[in-house]
């Protein structure tokens, strides 16, 4: 009896030891969310996405000052940066320290396993001398092309970072053209008197070569085949993005101010595992193509805790343009944007217009758009192709939006929304239907909740194509005050729940060729002579407008009475 009890105790003892061993093994192999700073971003994420880890670097340290660098704002430190990069690379990588001071330099080329760390007070100021930036093969505006070498660049690298408390300035004023209507008259006269050439008395270019390049280009990119001599003749026009990382893995930008770029500010292209955390991105409000960050054909990325105040799109998602983008076939996917603020900019969060490779699995949350042209901006046009889908947006708060709080524009023509408004452009409606091909862009499965916008020009505008409506757009818990209400055209399978629109004038809601629009607790506040809704279009059907009073709706004769239901 005693032997049997002892045997059973021993079996239980070994079983407990085995269980403890398994638990310890599981704990060691599992990610430790207590030390992973971005774990909270994955809570309730509606798509699968691996944790994006901050890259680590060897314990080697090199200062640019150790290689002949002088932070006096005059000495050209191009060679010092190159020598420091090379010396650190030969050690296997590490941290390249940029001490306080003004580091005047030409282009900096990254190596793998290097963290360029800008100490407090450090400013990297790039030279405006265009001869320092040779032409290189690259991608711009979603097309394979040539541009001048970027001030900071890297290709096919792993584990790279720009961190710290310093600043990087691209001397963009030496490169960018300037539109007269974007600046004060005194500013305009000062720029014109500095040299360069003026087109039509309203568009200044830094040089004759810059103007020539503009005149032979389509959307900033020369499309014809050029000889080497012809490329060199327009070199001044071929403005580079300031930060260009192409086909890199494990990219980390943290803490630094990026400003005054020649074209776009930050352009990760075909990269994997990108973290952007706590940076400030600035460009003058008048800067041509002065985008904040353009994430193009990247997979597994975080953009968090950052501030943008720029002259074009702020947080922009791309994947190539037209045939070049479709041939590349690399979507931007698995992206989290959280806790970002946008001031000036053509849009707060933008998808397109170059989205030919597709965009999917995107989460945007806890962002503020304060004075941007558009809040949420989705843009494309015929010829792009590509599918944008599975976009999840929540807790977006906006104030003083110059045009639309929430916009789908499938007729994008290259202008900002504010420029189109100023030029008197009107959005096309009742357009002929084109055949659906690989060139037809698709926007579907987009979910937005908890949105507040005060003082916009227009609450929202959804404008799809007749042959390919924007589809399955869901808005929940939204409260918008604007001069004009919400307008929907060529859209289908739209669901609104707990949405309030308060226009100063005109109807709260306008529907044109809209199919299967379902609402729950649709709300509005209008004056005595205002309509709650205006409904038009022969293709309009399946409108279920719960919360909207039928007597306050104006229905055009072409809309059959059974196509609209009021509850």
Q: Is 430 left (phi over 0), alpha (psi -120 to 50) or beta?
A: left
Phi, psi of 112 (to 5 degrees): -65, 155
40 Cβ neighbours under 8 A, 6+ residues apart: none
Q: Which of the residues 346, 373, 404, 512 is marked catalytic?
A: 346
- DSSP states of 116-170 as a string? EEE-TTEEEEE---GGGS-EEEEEETTEEEEEEPPSEEEES-EEEEEEES-EEE-
Decide: 374 and 349 in contact? Cβ < 8 Å.
no
CB atoms within 10 A of CB 297: 28
319 Cβ neighbours under 8 A, 6+ residues apart: 142, 296, 297, 325, 328, 330, 331, 332, 354, 355, 356, 357, 358, 359, 386
Phi, psi of 445 (to 5 degrees): 55, 65
Which residue's structure tokens are 């390049």?
213
312 is catalytic: yes
Give CA–CA dist 324/139, Å, rounded: 10
Decide: 496 and 469 in contact? Cβ < 8 Å.
no
Q: Which 8-state DSSP code applies to residue 220?
A: T
Element (H, E) at 20: helix 2-29
Decide: 427 and 409 in contact? Cβ < 8 Å.
yes
Give CA–CA dist 56/517, Å, rounded: 50
CA dihedral (102, 105, 110, 113) positive or negative:
negative
Give CA–CA dist 212/233, Å, rounded: 8
346 is catalytic: yes
Burial 298-309 (b: 16+ CB within 10 A, else e): bbbbbbbbbbbb
Q: Which of the residues 277, 291, 309, 312 is marked catalytic?
A: 312
- CA 481 to chain CA centroid, nearest Å: 25
Residues taking part in catalysis? 312, 346
């Amino acid at each position: 009896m005693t032997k049997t009890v002892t045997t059973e105790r021993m079996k239980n003892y070994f079983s407990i030891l085995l269980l403890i061993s398994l638990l310890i093994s599981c704990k060691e192999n599992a990610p430790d969310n207590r030390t992973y700073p971005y774990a909270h971003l994955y809570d309730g994420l509606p798509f699968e996405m691996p944790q994006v880890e901050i890259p680590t670097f060897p314990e080697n340290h090199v200062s640019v000052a150790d290689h002949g660098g002088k932070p006096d704002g005059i000495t050209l430190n191009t060679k010092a940066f190159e020598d420091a990069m090379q010396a650190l690379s030969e050690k296997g990588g590490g941290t390249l320290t940029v001490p306080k001071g003004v580091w005047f330099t030409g282009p900096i080329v990254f190596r793998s396993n290097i963290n360029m760390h800008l100490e407090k007070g450090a400013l990297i100021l790039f030279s405006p001398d265009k001869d320092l930036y040779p032409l290189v093969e690259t991608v711009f505006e979603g097309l394979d092309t040539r541009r001048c070498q970027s001030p900071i660049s890297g290709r096919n690298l792993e584990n790279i970072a720009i961190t710290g408390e310093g600043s990087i300035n691209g001397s963009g004023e030496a490169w960018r053209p300037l539109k007269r209507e974007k600046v004060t008259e005194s500013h305009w006269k000062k720029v014109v008197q500095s040299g360069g050439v003026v087109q039509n008395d309203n568009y200044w270019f830094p040089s004759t070569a810059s103007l020539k390049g503009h005149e032979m280009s389509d959307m900033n990119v020369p499309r014809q085949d050029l000889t080497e001599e012809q490329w060199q003749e327009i070199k001044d026009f071929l403005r580079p993005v300031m930060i260009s990382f192409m086909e890199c893995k494990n990219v980390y930008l943290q803490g630094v101010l990026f400003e005054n770029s020649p074209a776009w500010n930050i352009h990760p292209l075909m990269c994997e595992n990108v973290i952007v955390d706590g940076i400030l991105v600035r460009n003058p409000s008048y800067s041509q193509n002065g985008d904040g960050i353009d994430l193009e054909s990247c997979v597994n990325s975080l953009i968090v805790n950052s501030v943008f105040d720029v002259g074009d799109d702020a947080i922009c998602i791309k994947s190539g343009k037209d045939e070049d983008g479709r041939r590349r076939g690399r979507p931007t996917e698995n992206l989290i944007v959280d806790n970002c603020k946008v001031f000036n900019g053509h849009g707060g969060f933008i998808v397109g217009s170059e989205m030919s490779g597709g965009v999917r699995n995107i989460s945007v949350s806890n962002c503020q758009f304060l004075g941007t042209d558009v809040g949420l901006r989705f843009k494309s046009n015929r010829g792009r192709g590509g599918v944008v889908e599975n976009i999840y947006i929540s807790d977006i708060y906006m104030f003083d939006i110059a045009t639309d709080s929430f916009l789908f524009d499938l007729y994008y023509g290259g202008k900002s929304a504010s420029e189109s408004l100023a030029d008197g452009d009107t959005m096309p409606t009742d357009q002929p239907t084109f055949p659906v091909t690989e060139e037809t862009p698709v926007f579907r499965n987009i979910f937005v909740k908890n949105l507040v916008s005060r003082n916009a020009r227009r609450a929202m505008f959804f404008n799809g194509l007749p042959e390919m409506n924007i589809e399955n757009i869901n808005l929940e818990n939204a409260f918008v005050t604007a001069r004009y209400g919400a307008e929907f055209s060529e859209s289908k399978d739209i669901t609104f729940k707990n949405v309030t629109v308060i226009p100063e004038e005109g109807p709260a809601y306008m529907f044109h060729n809209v199919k299967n629009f379902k609402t729950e607790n649709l709300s509005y506040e209008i004056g005595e002579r205002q309509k709650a809704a205006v409904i038009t279009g022969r293709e309009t059907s399946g409108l279920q407008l719960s919360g909207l009073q039928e007597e306050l709706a104006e229905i055009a004769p072409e809309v059959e009475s059974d196509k609209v239901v009021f509850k």
